[in-house]
């Protein structure tokens, strides 16, 4: 199997690789359990998405803006670049982070475990990562989280997750766990590529020409309107 890097775009190069749950905190795991409980109780009445386990609920929470310990990644380099320049108004540099997720899991679990799997899949019931509780049951709010993050595939159960070719890192108790793990080796497995502010608009236009636009990453009518508006304004300004 080809080992592909993952990409994550940031509108500002100053943003850190910290999940929303920790950016908006400080919260404890007990608070996270309450957020998950409320979301899972009410979401089925508001969506037709078929969710089969706790992990898929957690991924869905992340995609719709809930504070979680997840960070979104994609294995599409142009998608990562698009998210970096999408809302950049040329007031600051943007950035694209590049991660080797297989190396991350090998580093966290120990040599010889360079796998990235779909948590919640019964096929991986005996996998070594399950010995660590990155997503304890909601009924155990005092559970102790591991410190380091790991990389996981979500399974494309949702159209939006599939469209963005999404993957995730799920973070443990260490707010800056990803940088802490990646800081140690001599060979970089996590790098940041700076996108100069002056280039953001030009890159967005180039991505549009390549077919990477709002409808590519958000396949809905709202996104179509944003695409039409962007192209109309672009033509008017020329």
What pLDDT, in 10s, does the model give residues 40-78?
Answer: 999 888 888 888 888 889 998 998 889 999 999 999 999
- State how far the Cα of 225 lies from the Cα of 45, in Å rounded to an integer: 27
Looking at residue 128, what is its pLDDT? 57
Contacts of 125 (CB under 8 A, 6+ apart): none
Beta carbons of 5 and 98 less than 8 angstroms apart: yes
Closest of 102, 103, 98, 101 to residue 8, by C-alpha: 98
Looking at residue 101, what is its pLDDT? 93
| pTM given for the model | 0.84
The region that residue 125 occupies, defined by phi over 0 for left and psi between -120 and 50 for alpha, beta otherwise, is alpha
Domain boundaries, the chain: 6-198
Contacts of 32 (CB under 8 A, 6+ apart): 21, 67, 68, 69
Positions of the chain with pLDDT lower than 50, given as ranges: 1, 131
Contacts of 175 (CB under 8 A, 6+ apart): 18, 22
Beta carbons of 178 and 82 less than 8 angstroms apart: no
Beta carbons of 124 and 55 less than 8 angstroms apart: no
Asked if omega into 26 is within 30° of 0 (cis), the reply is yes
- State how far the Cα of 220 lies from the Cα of 233, in Å rounded to an integer: 21
């Amino acid at each position: 199997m080809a080992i592909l890097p993952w990409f994550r775009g940031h509108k500002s190069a100053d943003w850190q690789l910290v999940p929303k749950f920790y950016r908006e905190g400080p919260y404890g795991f007990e608070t996270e359990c309450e957020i998950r409980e409320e979301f899972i109780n009410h979401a089925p009445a508001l969506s037709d998405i078929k969710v089969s386990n706790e992990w898929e609920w957690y991924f869905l929470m992340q995609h719709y803006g809930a504070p979680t310990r997840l960070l979104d990644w994609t294995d599409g380099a142009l998608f990562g670049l698009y998210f970096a320049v999408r809302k950049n108004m040329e007031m600051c540099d943007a950035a694209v982070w590049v991660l080797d997720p297989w190396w991350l899991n090998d580093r966290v679990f120990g040599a010889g475990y360079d796998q990235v799997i779909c948590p919640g899949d019964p096929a991986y019931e005996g996998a070594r990562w399950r010995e660590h509780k990155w997503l304890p049951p909601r009924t155990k709010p005092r559970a102790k989280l591991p410190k380091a993050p790991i990389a996981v595939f979500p399974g494309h159960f949702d159209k939006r997750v599939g469209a963005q070719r999404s993957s995730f890192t799920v973070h443990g108790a260490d707010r800056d766990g990803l940088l802490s793990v990646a800081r140690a080796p001599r060979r970089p497995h996590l790098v940041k590529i700076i996108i100069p502010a002056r280039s953001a608009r030009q890159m967005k236009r180039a991505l549009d020409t390549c077919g990477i636009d709002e409808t590519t990453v958000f396949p809905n009518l709202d996104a179509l309107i944003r695409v039409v508006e962007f192209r109309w304004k672009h033509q008017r300004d020329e």
